[in-house]
Amino acid sequence: MKKIIIGLTGRLASGKGTVTRHIVEKYQADKTRSSDPLRETLDIFMVPQTRENLDALSTFLRTTYSENVIAQAVKRYLTKSSAGVVIFDGMRRLVDVETIRSFEHSLFIFVDTNQEVRYHRSVQRNENIGDDKMTLDEFIAKDSDEPQQQIEALKEYADVILDNNGSPDELQKQLDERVDAVIEKLLK
């Protein structure tokens, strides 16, 4: 069976979740996050999956074994999945792009949304504790850290850049017309 790997990225509160839901529902896609191998490790030892614990493990693995050790684990997760469409959610580094491109059929989607729109959505959805109380300045500070900067640099490698500055319907239209068209072509 043909297998399509869909890499997905975008900055904080850009709308990746909406894109993921669409692809999962429409194509019964499986999904893997870059943190999944780290989360599986913490679960073995019943260590809480906080950002701090995940980061400590990530740093240890990359500095002790090899810089690409996590990316390669993600690649094995993507390979193991029996679904026809597999989403790699939350790509951050160039090595993640290399990972999806190592599969025969890949699609890289970048969700592009400007900062102010993302700020207002982040306050509204309140995904992590305290998000609803965050000021614009605090959001900008969080949005400028290194991992977020790295994400921006991946845009030029994307196959599809979705503009999510408009209404939910406008995003849906792009998903129907642009994303589905490519996936269906790849599935043929």
Partner 1 sequence: MRKVIGIAGKIASGKGIAAEHIISRYHAGCIDYSQFLYRVLDIFDVPHERKNINALSIFLRSAYGQGVFNNAVLQQLEKQSESIVAVTGIRREQELAQLRKIEGFCFLYIDSDIHSRYERNRRAARKPGDADMTFEQFVEKDSDDSNNTIQDLMVSADFIIDNNGTVDEFHAHIQQVITNCVGDSN
Identity of residue 85: V
Our finding on whether 61 is near partner 1 (CB under 8 A) is: yes
Residue 95 lies near partner 1 (rule: CB under 8 A): no
Query: d(Cα 30, Cα 183) in Å, to the nearest integer?
Result: 14
Q: Which has the closest alpha carbon to 90: 140, 20, 143, 21?
A: 20
Binding range to partner 1, per CB under 8 A, among 1-9, 51-59, 113-121, 125-133 = 51-59
The nearer residue to partner 1, 61 or 117, going by C-beta atoms, is: 61
CB 84 within 8 A of CB 4: yes
The answer to whether residues 60 and 53 touch, using CB atoms and an 8 Å cutoff, is no
54 binds partner 1 (CB under 8 A): no
**Residue 129 touches partner 1, criterion: CB under 8 A:** no
Binder among 2, 21, 49, 65 for partner 1 (CB under 8 A): 65
| Residue with token string 């019964």 | 28
Sole binder of partner 1 in the list 17, 30, 56, 155 (CB under 8 A): 56
Beta-strand relationship, 105-112 and 160-163: parallel
Q: With the CA atoms of 132, 116, 118 and 22 taken in that order, what torsion angle do they form, in degrees rounded to the nearest 10?
A: 140
Q: Under rule CB under 8 A, which residues in 10-39 are in contact with partner 1?
A: 37
Q: Minimum distance between the CB of residue 130 and partner 1, rounded to whole angstroms?
A: 24
Contact 15, 113 (CB under 8 A): yes
- Check binding of 90 to partner 1 (CB under 8 A): no
Please give the residue ranges that form the binding site for partner 1 (CB under 8 A). 37, 40-41, 44-47, 53, 56-57, 60-61, 64-65, 69-70, 72-73, 76
